[in-house]
Structure 1
């Protein structure tokens, strides 16, 4: 089947109405701009003739009912279908409390955006003839009510059945947690692993067996395209943190039946009251980066002493911001050899060490 369609991805919106914003001195999320930045992006997308829009989780600041209600009402005004899944911030606790909704409440807010069965936190739907979305829920809670990032057994059985039933469709998968590493050693690092799906290998095997190539994720707040044995994990940066990006994607089929996915990315440069949003946001992240950088330096693989870490941390002030921007190249010639090599591994390079700028604009050839 010759497929040609266009869609967009906006991730980690962290919508926060003014009355719901709470301050935390170390937060990386510039939630004050969540609504104006969203409106700016929606204005741009109105000119793109989209077939649909995907929102891979963290729709709200911290699961507040008012923020979920506002977003659902705003999405209902869009001229194209929109599909959502929950992120960890959308359902921070299993049961509802005085500040946030419970896990089972989420589908009720988004019945018009994929959840036609309000008793189930995952779903599948036909996007277009021959094109199917599988939207997964990666938020689980253990016996101690601790939030986990994984797929439960029931969902995996359901997924297997859906993949078998719709094996002739082009399938897009949307899930909040990353399924392919976007950072070196992400699945094993104490900091990076919390952004990974705990049972990612199981999911990846199911997808590979079914020939699924495209997965759309969020959670990490970076612009990155990662690939592993036939599967692309396209993660999109957050609407409320530098560089305030979004993606427009076009799937095309040429005369020979070859399919490709063209990815372009945009950024919101300014909104009213935030005329220098890009620089302000980059500085906002940099100003809060030191505790995070110290952890990165003192934990495996470097295991530096606190004194050694404190000496290097100032040079890493913008490290995470530059990583979030995508296609970064890092050089720290003044660092000790082990630290220099460690951080240079985060550069956007191919297996031969050559620059590989695929995080923001690229055309992926599909099999």
Structure 2
């Protein structure tokens, strides 16, 4: 059985000025290294860009990213994170703003979790997003489903990050409970890797293409283990029987 192969790149934190660094890292160089490595693998069929793409989102950053993605040999789809400018993404993104992707035996649903920001990094799914999710799950109930959002919908056992996770995660999980075709939930936001089952659904969190945060910390702490601190992306193999095989690829740069 040939799987659908999907890449996830997240939390790029590109600066409006490409010469500026984010937390000491040249995030432009990191993203180039991540994309080059992904293309060298040669098997991904599409890329999901899961938020915090441009730090304190501004036009130059998005225009630069848009041009970069347009030149890639495979399609890209993006969603906003808490640092993004949703309106700019909608204006510039064109087909990258597509919310429902149907490929082979799978439907991929992309959500905007940036409603009702608290100014600290939290967000939630607006009622319109929950309605969209319900409608699409009803429409594609004969497909395996992957749900994609920026904010983590389950805690990660880091006090500072758990305070800014998906604020209405209970409503999200209550909705998913009625749709057993949902096989996986993928998010960014936490800048670290995690793979767990929650209410029978596989939840996958992915390190950043920029800097990584150390797991299990009360306060924000940058990852200091050299391998774990590398920029990273995720590859997902979505099989026709609903199985998900996945790995995180860390990139030296």
Equivalent residue number for residue 63 of structure 1: 57
Structure 1 segments of 4+ aligned residues over 3 angstroms from their partners: 17-20, 144-148
Equivalent residue number for residue 42 of structure 1: 35
Q: How does 1:23-42 map to 2 (within 5 A)?
A: 29-30=23-24, 32-42=25-35
Would you say the 8 A contact 1:13–1:238 is kept in 2? yes
TM-score by length of 2: 0.83
SS of the aligned residue for 2:100 comes to strand
Q: CA deviation at 1:86?
A: 0.2
Equivalent residue number for residue 205 of structure 2: 235
Question: Where do 5+ consecutive residues of structure 2 fail to align?
Answer: 212-228
Q: CA deviation at 1:260?
A: 2.5
Equivalent residue number for residue 133 of structure 1: 108
Q: d(CA) in 2 for partners of 1:171 and 1:252?
A: 11
SS of the aligned residue for 2:107 comes to strand
Match of 2:100 among 111, 124, 128: 124
Equivalent residue number for residue 159 of structure 1: 133
Match of 1:217 among 164, 179, 187: 187
Match of 1:192 among 148, 161, 181: 161
Q: How does 1:1-367 map to 2 (within 5 A)?
A: 4-16=3-15, 18=17, 21=20, 29-30=23-24, 32-47=25-40, 48-91=42-85, 103-115=86-98, 123-126=99-102, 128-141=103-116, 148-183=122-157, 189=159, 191-211=160-180, 212-241=182-211, 242-253=229-240, 258-270=241-253
Offset from partner CA, 1:134-182 (integer Å, 9 cap, x none): 111111237x988751111122122211111110112111100001222
Q: CA deviation at 1:71?
A: 0.4
Q: d(CA) in 2 for partners of 1:226 and 1:165?
A: 27
Q: d(CA) in 2 for partners of 1:259 and 1:159?
A: 19
Q: CA deviation at 1:247?
A: 1.5
Would you say the 8 A contact 2:18–2:28 is kept in 1? no
Would you say the 8 A contact 1:114–1:125 is kept in 2? no
What is the total number of aligned residue pairs between the two structures? Answer: 234
C-alpha change, 1:5 and 1:60, in structure 2 (3 Å) is same
C-alpha change, 1:168 and 1:245, in structure 2 (3 Å) is same
Structure with greater strand percent: 2
Q: CA deviation at 1:77?
A: 0.8
SS of the aligned residue for 1:140 comes to coil
Q: CA deviation at 1:3?
A: 5.9
Q: CA deviation at 1:202?
A: 1.1
Would you say the 8 A contact 2:122–2:151 is kept in 1? no
Would you say the 8 A contact 1:216–1:234 is kept in 2? yes
What is the root-mean-square deviation of aligned Cα atoms in Å?
A: 2.3
Would you say the 8 A contact 1:149–1:194 is kept in 2? no
The structure, 1 or 2, with the larger RCO (C-alpha pairs under 8 Å, 6+ apart) is: 2
Q: d(CA) in 2 for partners of 1:146 and 1:248?
A: 29
Q: d(CA) in 1 for partners of 2:70 and 2:28?
A: 15
C-alpha change, 1:262 and 1:9, in structure 2 (3 Å) is same
Structure with greater helix percent: 1
C-alpha change, 1:162 and 1:240, in structure 2 (3 Å) is same
